[in-house]
Amino acid sequence: MKKFSICFISFFFLFFMSMVNFMMMIYFIMNNMVIFLEWEVITLNSVSVVMSILLDWMSLLFMMFVLLISSVVIYYSKSYMSSELNLNRFIILVLLFVFSMILLIISPNIVSILLGWDGLGLVSYCLVIYYQNFKSYNAGMLTALSNRVGDVFILMVISWMLNYGSWNYIFYLMFMKNDYEMYMISSLIIIAAMTKSAQIPFSSWLPAAMAAPTPVSALVHSSTLVTAGVYLLIRFNLLLIDMLFLKILLLLSGLTMFMAGISANYEFDLKKIIALSTLSQLGLMMSILSMGMPDLAFFHLLTHAMFKALLFMCAGVIIHMMNDTQDIRLMGGISNYIPMTSLCMNISNLALCGIPFLAGFYSKDLILEMVSLSNLNLLIYYIYYLSTGLTMFYTIRLIMYLMVNDYNLMSIYNLYDEDYTMLKSMMVLLFMSVISGSMLSWMIFLNPYMIYLPLNMKMMVVYVSLLGGFIGYFVSNMMIYSMNKFLMTYNISSFLCLMWFMPSLSTYGLNYYFLKLGQNLLKYIDLGWSELYSGQGMYYILKNYSIFYNFYQVNNFKIYLFSFVMWMMILYYFMLMKF
């Protein structure tokens, strides 16, 4: 009975579905087939709200990757979360997440995409606040609210698309391209995608979301949720070409890539380093997307999903063994103790750097060569190559800290490499992060890219990678007294290592004003003027008048008598006047 735990059943089911999707994808791509299903919810004024499903090779391939990663992640969490009391809740949440991701992938309709889009936000919120501590509380709130911005923009897109009488956006991408409303729609869509994919004004949530359990980070915050924005823009790409906003997106995503690369070098938290590298790769995808090459972005999205999930899973194993310590300064020399995990870690790290013939090489090298080939300004070009160097920089630094130096945590320790549940699930992804690049490049690029570069430009990737790698090596060997030299550049260092102050700005920088406004409104309007001019004010006025009249009525008998006489005299006077 123990064998058929919820983890195993979900693993089996998801893996099976993934393989089915794979077969279907091959069939679809061979026959150039698309299936489009529509189910009408309601028609109002001849506008149909429909739930639609689009199955083409792109959605099937993405689904295959999502299902594969989620299946192994669930299998992995059987061991990783084995001491968790509410394992069922955890697995059900992950399954719900996969479900909403699939709904997002298959729907080409802006109303029905909301089903997946909102679902991702809510379920990922539940997963981030899974642990019951303050850090996860704050991180969850930041994640959910940043993602909610995207939901709101999608809602606004829905209302703008009412102009066209249908929400199946794929029909309007070419046809309505020069329409004014379409400019509005595409800018809103870009902002929505930027929130989900954590581009620059909204990037603070991605490193914060590392408060989630590590399997969640492997599935949600590296390979699937964060790529939802990229995927949406890939679907919308026909619309976006030649737009001004896309140029802005290019700059912002390039800066995201650069910023994340630099911050990762200052970071000492193992999961945060990987999260920042995810952010950097997301910037790469977004930027190549905004240069008008959606297929390259999709390619990198898929290969990146594989090796990044693997990287997170290795990090999870290491964190488990280090008594839940995540600080890389306390790790070191683990390749002597856990060779298999170190192997996976290194392969995924190198695939991230784009070392030839691993998964990352095919996509990243192609992207960078296409960047060199296209007509760009120097700033963007520098940002691309500096970020590539920075990737190598933080990767080598991480490898040095983890694998080479001495073990620093405690004098008594127990590292073991025999957790086969975790290792087996990592093997699947290890295999995929070696082969997926070549496999995909043969499968989805029917006509090859023609690249024509001078030698130095061609070798530029190698130059910056080697340079970054050397710097990373030297930085990891830095002594404490040279670390202290950073104090000389305290301002710029804190600017760079705190992600350009984005986490502070998007939390303390914003919420104070809104909370203060809310408090003032409550104090001055609800408990102030509104009460004064309705309930309480009316009460006081009536009360005072009744006291006032009461004052005249509670008197001596003599005064009544006197006033009676007075009134009689006045009446008599008037009577005399009349006659």
Partner 1 sequence: MMKFMFMIIFMIPLCFKKNMFWLVQNLMMLMMFMFMNLNISIYYNTNLSYMFSCDIMSFGLILLSIWICMLMLMASENLLKMGFYVNFFLLNMLFMLLMLYLTFSMMNLFMFYLFFEGSLIPTLLLIVGWGYQPERIQAGMYLLFYTLFASLPLLMGIFYIFNKSNNIMFYFLKFMSFDFYLLYFSMILAFLVKMPMYFVHLWLPKAHVEAPVSGSMILAGIMLKLGGYGLLRILILLEKLSLKLNFIWIIISLVGGFYISLKCFCQVDMKSLIAYSSVCHMGVVIGGIMTLNYWGFMGSYLLMIGHGLCSSGMFCLANINFERLNSRSLYINKGMMNFMPSMSLWWFLLMSSNMAAPPSLNLMGEISLINSLMSWSWLSMIMLMLISFFSAGYSLYLYSYTQHGKYYSGLYSFYTGVSREYLLLMLHWLPLNLMILKVDWVMIWF
| 7 near partner 1, judged by CB under 8 A | no
In the complex, minimum distance from the CB of residue 343 to partner 1, in angstroms, rounded to a whole number: 38
| 410 near partner 1, judged by CB under 8 A | no
Q: Which stretch binds partner 1 (CB under 8 A): 37-45, 202-210, 241-249, 266-274?
A: 37-45
Please identify which residue in 108, 140, 261, 332 interacts with partner 1, judged by CB under 8 A: 140
| 215 near partner 1, judged by CB under 8 A | no
Nearest-angstrom CA–CA distance, 37 and 34: 10
Q: Give CA separation, 43 vs 160, 166, 456, in Å.
A: 17, 10, 60
| 531 near partner 1, judged by CB under 8 A | yes
Please identify which residue in 466, 492, 525, 571 interacts with partner 1, judged by CB under 8 A: 525
Nearest-angstrom CA–CA distance, 386 and 365: 14
Structure letter (DSSP) for residue 13: H
Q: Which stretch binds partner 1 (CB under 8 A): 150-158, 215-223, 321-329, 370-378?
A: 150-158
| 125 near partner 1, judged by CB under 8 A | yes
Nearest-angstrom CA–CA distance, 114 and 136: 25
| 535 near partner 1, judged by CB under 8 A | yes
Tokens of 312: 């997170």
Nearest-angstrom CA–CA distance, 267 and 274: 10
In the complex, minimum distance from the CB of residue 213 to partner 1, in angstroms, rounded to a whole number: 15
Please identify which residue in 115, 319, 427, 435 interacts with partner 1, judged by CB under 8 A: 115
SS (H, E, C) 352-389: HHCCCCCHHHHHHHHHHHHHHHCCCCHHHHHHHHHHHH
| 144 near partner 1, judged by CB under 8 A | yes
- Is the Cβ of residue 128 or residue 331 nearer to partner 1 in the bound state? 128
Residues 32-62 as b/e (b if ≥16 CB within 10 A, e otherwise) read eeeeeeeeeeeeeeeebebebbbbbbbbbbb
- Is the Cβ of residue 100 or residue 223 nearer to partner 1 in the bound state? 100
Q: Which stretch binds partner 1 (CB under 8 A): 127-135, 246-254, 302-310, 419-427?
A: 127-135
In the complex, minimum distance from the CB of residue 145 to partner 1, in angstroms, rounded to a whole number: 6
Q: Which stretch binds partner 1 (CB under 8 A): 27-35, 38-46, 53-61, 569-577?
A: 38-46
Closest CA to 97 of 68, 66, 130: 66
> Distance from first CA to last CA of the chain, Å, rounded?
116
Tokens of 139: 């991180």
| 83 near partner 1, judged by CB under 8 A | no
In the complex, minimum distance from the CB of residue 37 to partner 1, in angstroms, rounded to a whole number: 16
Structure letter (DSSP) for residue 177: T
| 134 near partner 1, judged by CB under 8 A | yes
- Give burial (CB, 10 Å; 0-12/13-18/19+) of 159: exposed
Nearest-angstrom CA–CA distance, 339 and 416: 10
| 20 near partner 1, judged by CB under 8 A | no
Please identify which residue in 82, 133, 336, 489 interacts with partner 1, judged by CB under 8 A: 133
Q: Contacts with partner 1: how many residues (CB under 8 A)? A: 49
Cα-Cα-Cα-Cα dihedral sign, residues 387, 308, 22, 432: positive
Nearest-angstrom CA–CA distance, 287 and 247: 9
- Is the Cβ of residue 143 or residue 203 nearer to partner 1 in the bound state? 143
Please identify which residue in 82, 530, 546, 555 interacts with partner 1, judged by CB under 8 A: 530
In the complex, minimum distance from the CB of residue 83 to partner 1, in angstroms, rounded to a whole number: 17
Which residue stretches of 400-489 are H helix? Answer: 420-444, 455-476, 480-483
| 160 near partner 1, judged by CB under 8 A | yes
Please identify which residue in 16, 23, 34, 159 interacts with partner 1, judged by CB under 8 A: 159
| 182 near partner 1, judged by CB under 8 A | no
- Is the Cβ of residue 195 or residue 436 nearer to partner 1 in the bound state? 195
76 forms beta bridges with none
Compute the half-sphere exposure of residue 378: CA atoms within 13 Å on the CB side of its CA: 0
User: Cβ atoms within 10 A of the Cβ of 447, count?
Assistant: 5
| 151 near partner 1, judged by CB under 8 A | yes
| 50 near partner 1, judged by CB under 8 A | no
Q: Which stretch binds partner 1 (CB under 8 A): 54-62, 143-151, 432-440, 497-505?
A: 143-151
SS (H, E, C) 64-95: HHHHHHHHHHHHHHHHHCCCCCCHHHHHHHHH
Measured N-to-C along each axis, helices 244-266 and 180-196 cross at an angle, to the nearest 10 degrees, of 10
Please identify which residue in 86, 493, 494, 504 interacts with partner 1, judged by CB under 8 A: 86
In the complex, minimum distance from the CB of residue 100 to partner 1, in angstroms, rounded to a whole number: 9
Q: Which stretch binds partner 1 (CB under 8 A): 3-11, 115-123, 397-405, 429-437?
A: 115-123
Binding mask 479-518 for partner 1 (x = CB under 8 A): -----------------------------------xx-xx
| 225 near partner 1, judged by CB under 8 A | no
| 356 near partner 1, judged by CB under 8 A | no
Q: Give CA separation, 214 vs 74, 170, 219, 342, 366, in Å.
A: 11, 36, 9, 17, 31
- Is the Cβ of residue 416 or residue 539 nearer to partner 1 in the bound state? 539
| 96 near partner 1, judged by CB under 8 A | no
| Residue 451 CB contacts under 8 Å (≥ 6 apart), including other chains | 366, 369, 370, 373
Cα-Cα-Cα-Cα dihedral sign, residues 272, 276, 278, 282: positive
Q: Which residues bind partner 1 (CB under 8 A)?
A: 41-45, 49, 86, 89, 111, 114-115, 118-119, 122, 125-126, 129, 132-134, 137, 140-141, 144-145, 148-149, 151-153, 155-156, 158-160, 162, 514-515, 517-519, 521-522, 525-526, 530-531, 534-535
